[in-house]
Amino acid sequence: MSPHKLQSEIQRLSQALQVAEDREDRGEQIRLYEALAKLVPDTAMVHAKIARLHLELQDPQSAEPWAERALDMSTDPKVDEELLDTMRTHRLFIKNLERAERWYQASPSLPRMALYGAALSLRKRFDEAEALYTKALEKPLEPWQQSILLGLLGTLYFECGSFHDSIACHRLTMELAPNYYYGPFNLALSLEQVGRYQEAYRLYEQMLQKAQEHSGTHNNLSLLQLRFKQFDIAWPSYEARWKTSLKEHHQEFNTPRWRGEPLEGKTLLVWAEQGIGDHIMFASMLPDLLKLGGQVHVETYDRLYPLLHRSLPGLSIIQRESTGQVHNGQRMMHRQTWPRSDYQIPMGSLGEFLRPTLASFAGPRAFLQADPQQVKAKHAEYQQLFPGKRLVGISWRGGTDTANDMQSRRIEMEELAQLARLDNVQLINLQYGNTAPERAEAESLGLHIHHDANVDPLKDMDAQAAQLCALDAVLSIDNTTVHLAGALGVPTFVLLQLNPNWRWGVDDTTSYWYPSVQLIRNRELGRWGEALEQAVQRMRGSGVL
């Protein structure tokens, strides 16, 4: 192609791109930039633009080859600014440590350093990431550069559970850059982790003054409102979850959303949205929903089907289909066909209409019912094995995601071993997953935890429900077991981490979701000795021991 014709074609594409940008037509922009990339293949910014557009469309896989070419062929700061802040929010780019290091070594700019540090953090190489940032802070820097590095350091400390250090860094960031968009948000996140909820609340409100549409702030503020029992404003705000934590779980319907209309003569579909524990908790509202009349279809998970079917015979229970796509390592299951209904609503949104005040939570001690024959058999089995003993179910760890690691929602066997002194108690294993190594460690410390090989809650929650009802009490970290035990009305003592889930409130000693669940709040990050002692005293005071 002649130089004149090349220039003419570039000009034509540039004009077309301007029109596509004005229309915010990203698909057309990508097509035009790809045509431009064929004409000027060595222009890094063109590749960067294509990658950025794919990222804006939440398609990091398509963005990856374009971003890699752009950053490999150029160290232009403008190319870095175009791409790297957005790339850092996608796991696809931070999981490749070797590539992030290569880009940083080629040009140690702040955006490349941030990506490299995030990649180190993902591998839990926190010391190396900390050294990377602190070494950079030792150099003469402009205030805006210092603020960026302190923000990165604050995020790193947050990820490794050093929350007080994180708070200090984010405060300094806000002092150096008071107009920094995410300053209040980042500081509020860290304050929440150490239970400073009122300060976090004010910062989220401050953040919304800067960015009224920031969905993360709306979501986090709604959770604090729920924590503070501000239900009248919290439940409507809780809808922000569909733009953040549950973005990939939302389902579209042609059926209108239920907004509290009368249900007499109508049919309502209630669909599942969250994990098993949340599902059980929100299911506590179903008996009240039935009182409104009409026919109610409720979607549930396979493991819960027998329990809900037995306990709420007035409902039409639909088992969730295990079809769909894989997202973040979990199978996303979407039902393809639904019964004909007049209205539909996600289960977590029922609270706006059925739990508008604290008083509206008052209800029976239990709303789920285990199989009576299974309960009788399991009770007889345990009485024969452990005559004269008080039977206490024990569970010592929650999930395995980063947030749980940060808050240490896990009790080590060395601390749990203090329960060995309770001579009249036999502990029964309620912990799901492979527990053999931990039980062996406990045995070596003098603590015997009986394992019932016939109960696997990951496969059969009906069997676990019967097991729970055969016990005198449950002592557990905050996990699904607590929800099931509470729903069955079993005396339960839950050990809460320093920053527990919103559902447990701020200083409540009994759950308003489950009347049989008592709350023991740990005031130390990752250390459970004092909380365990409090739990023992509570159990004695309640007549369990």
Confidence of residue 5 (pLDDT cuts 50, 70, 90): confident
Q: How many CB atoms lie within 10 A of CB 86?
A: 16
Taking only the tens place, the pLDDT of each residue in 508-526 is 999 999 999 999 999 888 8
In this predicted structure, the answer to whether residue 52 has a pLDDT above a threshold of 90 is yes
- Sequence ranges of the domains in the chain: 3-240, 249-361, 372-541
Dihedral, 330, 333, 334, 336 alpha carbons, nearest 10: 140
Which of these CATH numbers, 3.40.50.1370, 3.50.50.60, 3.20.180.10, 1.25.40.10, describes 3-240? 1.25.40.10
Confidence of residue 6 (pLDDT cuts 50, 70, 90): confident
Number of DSSP helices (H) and strands (E) in the chain, helices first: 26, 12
pLDDT (0 to 100) of residue 400: 59
Taking only the tens place, the pLDDT of each residue in 387-439 is 999 999 999 998 755 554 556 789 999 999 999 999 999 999 999 999 999 99
pLDDT (0 to 100) of residue 384: 98
pLDDT (0 to 100) of residue 328: 44
Taking only the tens place, the pLDDT of each residue in 93-141 is 999 999 999 999 999 999 999 999 999 999 999 999 999 999 999 999 9
Q: 132 is written with which tokens?
A: 């990377």
Helix residue ranges per DSSP H, 255-347: 276-283, 286-290, 305-311
Three-state secondary-structure class, residue 510: strand
Question: Of all residues in the chain, what percent carry a pLDDT higher than 70?
Answer: 95
Pairwise CA distance, residues 506 & 418, whole Å? 27
User: φ and ψ at 524, to 5 degrees?
Assistant: -125, 135
Pairwise CA distance, residues 433 & 266, whole Å? 42
Predicted model pTM: 0.90
Torsional sign, CA 429, 431, 434, 438: negative
Opening angle at CA 174, ends 172 and 179, nearest 5? 155
Compute the radius of gyration of the chain from its Cα atoms: 27
In this predicted structure, the answer to whether residue 199 has a pLDDT above a threshold of 90 is yes
Cα 194 → chain centroid: 17
Report the chain's mean pLDDT, rounded to a whole number: 94
Taking only the tens place, the pLDDT of each residue in 288-337 is 999 999 999 999 999 999 999 999 999 999 988 755 544 444 445 555 57
Architecture of domain 372-541: 3-Layer(aba) Sandwich (3.40)
For the purposes of burial, counting CB atoms within 10 Å of the CB of 134, is it exposed (0-12), middle (13-18) or buried (19 or more)? exposed
In this predicted structure, the answer to whether residue 272 has a pLDDT above a threshold of 90 is yes
Taking only the tens place, the pLDDT of each residue in 442-486 is 999 999 999 999 999 999 999 999 999 999 999 999 999 999 999
Pairwise CA distance, residues 348 & 439, whole Å? 36
Q: What is the mean pLDDT of residues 8-30?
A: 94
What is the β-pairing status of strands 425-429 and 390-395? parallel
pLDDT (0 to 100) of residue 526: 82
Are the beta carbons of 195 and 409 closer than 8 angstroms?
Answer: no
Question: Of all residues in the chain, what percent carry a pLDDT higher than 90?
Answer: 89
